[in-house]
Structure 1
Amino acid sequence: MQNHPHRPESTRADFTIDQNWDAHTAEEHAIWATLFKRQQQILKGRAAQEFLDGIDILNVSSDGVPDFRRLNDILGARTGWQIVAVPGLVPDDIFFDHLANRRFPSTCFIRTAEQLDYIQEPDVFHDVFGHVPLLVNPVFADYMQAYGKGGVKAMQLGALHNLSRLYWYTVEFGLIRTPDGLRIYGAGIVSSQGESVFSLESSAPNRIGFDLMRIMRTRYRIDDFQESYFVIDSYEQLFEATRPDFTGYYETLKSLPEVEAGEIQPEDTVLNRGTGRTRPAA
């Protein structure tokens, strides 16, 4: 959700481009296969069932980078969502407009073999493997659309920094409580070998019950594993949290102090109090 510094000549006004799936090389398909097989093993017993169901329904596999046209046929029939190809990070207003209209912007490039463990800018594996499977789930699909609509308003009210934290701590790095224990649903975790294990099994991070206002006060870092994870009880809880008009919330937040990523607040529902940083992200 940042401005892309350069827009290729082939980019349309809404920053979409053609995926040009046929241009992917055998090496790129092989990198996808390596990443997919690795995460397939790691996510057993760790990923939310709804995410795993989405993988199956979309028939995403180790065969190679998926063709967006095939995925869109399934997504459109299930929840009315579509994947649109973009050259990279797009301007905030464009990003929110896409989500508000049930379009998910995805990059087309894939990381290199040297970047298997970490890449700073989202690639097609992060976007498609990480984000798209949950768009098959009707409730989560509605949450993402509601978030997009809320983003347009947040920009008008100068509160984008608050709303961006909600995306970060749910869509990207969210955990969900299930009868079988905590599970991962955030795209930033399910697409990361190291954080898939760290988020659930390390004693270092805090794990805190979902609290909308608390999340929108909480800073985050992009260069390391998370110091705190927020845990939802259901996707319905997320969707219901986005129903109210946030205007009043933003006014209240102006008078409340910011919270550092690793801090615990007295009002927190603490599922696990972390021991602190133990290692840098891989």
Structure 2
Amino acid sequence: MMSNFNDFNNPQVKKLPEHLKQFIVEQEYAHYTPVDQAVWRFVMRQNYHFLKDIAYYPYIPGLEAAGLSIEKIPDLQEMNDALQKIGWGAVTVDGFIPPAAFMEYQSCKVLVIAADIRQLHHIEYTPAPDIIHESAGHAPIIADPDYHQYLSYFGSIGAKAMYSSRDFELYEAIRELSILKEMPDPDPLKLKNAEKQVLFCQKNLGDPSEMALLSRLHWWTVEYGLIGTLENPKIYGAGLLSSIGESKSCMDHSVKKYWYTADAVNFPFDITKPQPQLFVTPNFQNLTQVLENFADSMAFRRGGTESILKAIECRNTCTAVYSSGLQISGIFTDLRMDKHDELLFLKTSGASALSYENKQLEGHGKQIHADGFSSPVGRLKNFGKALEDANDNELEKLGIIGGQTAELNFSGGLSLNGIVGSILKRNSKLILISFSDCTLKDEQGNVYFEPSWGVYDMAVGEKIVSVYSGAADKDAFEEVAPKAKSATFHPEYTAHQKRYHDLFKQVRLCRETQSKFELLTDIWNELKQNFRDDWLCAIEILEILELENIFTDTAKDIRIYLEMKSSSEPELNNLIQNGFYLISKAQKGSGALRN
């Protein structure tokens, strides 16, 4: 967690709960190199020229509304100043963060932006989240009211999604692979093993969890969504908007286009490859409707035995909500049900807590319930209503009187005998009864609680109406989401690399100040002599020379050099040809070039 939390004077960022701050890192703007800035500018200029016709939103106004420009990597303060006008904020994080945390940020109307930018050798596409994808992809469309409403609503539902322990293994594997792929010279064996691990995790997920299914809906909308008609769709998905290559190739007829319906949940995705199909929504309201229908199948809306089973499979902190409103947070490990699969009893192991309306109940935190919590679920025999709805007279008739021994027999077969201690009500509902000298057992005589174990806090509630991932009162629970073991790669630059950066810096200075153009020939000669792998700095020099119509011999020399490089290094062909295209489109003084 950041020691000095910077809220950027943004209301949404200020309101972030403590447990989400653990993922935030400083942007450290000064760490972006001149090459990084050139990568941003090249990608953004390409995006502008290509996407202005196929992006759903007006590209430049969209960027400006999010505090972005084509010319430089965005500064988080500038982004937050712009985003707060539409009720959003932004923070920087270290690469991939766990899906549950990502969703919760979204529900808080805060964009999560990877602080790093892709390496030059991954300029067309990177599997790792980077500032181009997160800011230039997600932020510009967020001004659309229907879209940002969908985004925050998705986050609120996603934050409750149940995930399995295998989901986290897959997240860990994808993160590891993306970090390796962003390294300048990754160990081939490590890379191969990381790819194998991702493949293994993908193939061994078993039945997909709620989070896995929701991730598919997120992927086919927020990341790779199209809007409009099947014949002439427009791009709104951030993954497409931030990928030079795939934003072009996705319009090809070989990429199948389907209407976006609930069926999209049946299409898994591979984060490392171009997508074989995409989904088109007629409008953003349709996205919300599909999400709403899916949410109806989730544990947080369904409750019951099936949902507790999902919590047990999760193997991480979950919350079960009784019909009385009492919330039990902990790692669920056991349950009991009848022959009709009705839930009769639930159990957590390890530190657990009780809450009501997302606020931890006094005296019922993890220290008190350090070894777990268990309680019956259901009605009492021979009592015509749910116990939570009993009034004081009815409680007296049932023998539930402070200081006296009570015997409670549940319809499911459990029986409890103990001395009544405290009786807790909230909003006229009985939610908790504490017993001393208490025994809880079933019809076969199996003991679930015995007097020597101390005070027994019995949850009151006829049903479990909701089960969701995470604690009810996350901050009181001091919830630390499972964090990745791996850290993103940050290179140490050699003197040779630093000199290369300096050449980019000089070119940018010439362009921005419209002066010292005579330096460009010297820079080109140094590139030609000492940096034979370069193509981007040469493109930037050529752009200025041809735009200003100066040093035509040098310009001709650069163009021939780049044509030869394009021919001899096929992997650079598209990039260099795109660079030529951008130069041909630039007109002196045009907003498109100098925006």
User: TM-score, structure 2 length as denominator?
Assistant: 0.38
Q: How far apart, in 1, do the equivalents of 2:232 and 2:281 lie?
A: 12
Q: 1:68 to 1:104 in 2, by over 3 A?
A: same
Q: How far apart, in 2, do the equivalents of 1:13 and 1:176 lie?
A: 34
Residue matched to 2:215 = 164
**Contact (CA 8 Å) 2:229, 2:280: kept in 1 or not?**
no
Q: How far apart, in 1, do the equivalents of 2:60 and 2:71 lie?
A: 17
Residue matched to 1:60 = 68
Residue matched to 1:98 = 105
Question: Which of residues 116, 132, 141 in structure 2 aligns to 1:109?
Answer: 116
**Contact (CA 8 Å) 1:175, 1:182: kept in 2 or not?**
yes
Give the AA of the match of 2:236: Y
Q: How far apart, in 2, do the equivalents of 1:110 and 1:9 lie?
A: 24
Residue matched to 2:253 = 203
Number of aligned residues: 244
Give the AA of the match of 1:211: T
Residue matched to 2:286 = 237
Q: 1:51 to 1:137 in 2, by over 3 A?
A: farther
**Contact (CA 8 Å) 2:260, 2:281: kept in 1 or not?**
yes
Give the AA of the match of 2:51: L
Q: How far apart, in 2, do the equivalents of 1:52 and 1:147 lie?
A: 26
Give the AA of the match of 2:217: L
**Contact (CA 8 Å) 1:166, 1:216: kept in 2 or not?**
yes
Q: Which runs of 5+ in 1 are unaligned?
A: 1-6, 255-281
Question: CA offset at residue 156 of structure 1?
Answer: 6.3
Residue matched to 2:89 = 82
Aligned pair 1:225/2:274, yes or no? yes
| Residue-by-residue CA offset, 1:65-100 (whole Å, 9 max, x unaligned) | 01111111111112x111111011112222122111
Q: 1:180 to 1:224 in 2, by over 3 A?
A: closer
Q: How far apart, in 1, do the equivalents of 2:265 and 2:223 lie?
A: 14
The DSSP-based 3-state class of the residue aligned with 1:63 is coil
Question: CA offset at residue 247 of structure 1?
Answer: 3.9
Residue matched to 2:143 = 136
What CA RMSD, in Å, does the superposition of the two structures yield over aligned residues? 2.7
Q: How far apart, in 1, do the equivalents of 2:130 and 2:28 lie?
A: 15
Q: 1:69 to 1:233 in 2, by over 3 A?
A: same
**Contact (CA 8 Å) 1:43, 1:190: kept in 2 or not?**
yes
Residue matched to 1:38 = 46
| Residue-by-residue CA offset, 1:142-185 (whole Å, 9 max, x unaligned) | 11111111112222694111100001100111111169931111
Give the AA of the match of 2:260: F
**Contact (CA 8 Å) 2:241, 2:247: kept in 1 or not?**
yes
**Contact (CA 8 Å) 2:125, 2:244: kept in 1 or not?**
no
Q: 1:244 to 1:180 in 2, by over 3 A?
A: closer
Q: 1:197 to 1:46 in 2, by over 3 A?
A: same
**Contact (CA 8 Å) 2:59, 2:140: kept in 1 or not?**
yes
Question: CA offset at residue 192 of structure 1?
Answer: 1.1
Residue matched to 2:387 = none
Give the AA of the match of 2:150: Y
The DSSP-based 3-state class of the residue aligned with 1:27 is helix
The DSSP-based 3-state class of the residue aligned with 1:230 is strand
**Contact (CA 8 Å) 1:176, 1:231: kept in 2 or not?**
yes
Q: 1:180 to 1:47 in 2, by over 3 A?
A: farther
Give the AA of the match of 2:250: S
**Contact (CA 8 Å) 2:230, 2:258: kept in 1 or not?**
no
**Contact (CA 8 Å) 1:86, 1:105: kept in 2 or not?**
yes
**Contact (CA 8 Å) 1:33, 1:64: kept in 2 or not?**
yes
Q: How far apart, in 1, do the equivalents of 2:50 and 2:22 lie?
A: 36
Question: CA offset at residue 139 of structure 1?
Answer: 1.4
Residue matched to 1:266 = none
Q: How far apart, in 1, do the equivalents of 2:61 and 2:138 lie?
A: 13
**Contact (CA 8 Å) 1:208, 1:231: kept in 2 or not?**
yes
**Contact (CA 8 Å) 2:62, 2:143: kept in 1 or not?**
yes
The DSSP-based 3-state class of the residue aligned with 1:221 is coil
Aligned pair 1:194/2:245, yes or no? yes
Q: 1:40 to 1:69 in 2, by over 3 A?
A: same
Q: Which runs of 5+ in 2 are unaligned?
A: 6-19, 165-208, 307-573, 575-595
Larger Rg over CA atoms: 2
Question: Which of residues 71, 81, 87 in structure 1 aligns to 2:79?
Answer: 71
**Contact (CA 8 Å) 1:14, 1:94: kept in 2 or not?**
no
Q: How far apart, in 2, do the equivalents of 1:14 and 1:8 lie?
A: 7
Q: 1:235 to 1:51 in 2, by over 3 A?
A: farther
Between 167-176 and 84-93, the greater mean CA deviation after superposition:
84-93
The DSSP-based 3-state class of the residue aligned with 2:52 is coil
Give the AA of the match of 2:144: N
The DSSP-based 3-state class of the residue aligned with 1:110 is coil
Q: How far apart, in 2, do the equivalents of 1:10 and 1:56 lie?
A: 29
Q: How far apart, in 2, do the equivalents of 1:156 and 1:221 lie?
A: 19
Residue matched to 1:118 = 125
| Residue-by-residue CA offset, 1:122-153 (whole Å, 9 max, x unaligned) | 11111111111112212111111111111122
Give the AA of the match of 2:210: A
Between 203-212 and 150-159, the greater mean CA deviation after superposition:
150-159
**Contact (CA 8 Å) 1:50, 1:137: kept in 2 or not?**
no
The DSSP-based 3-state class of the residue aligned with 2:113 is strand
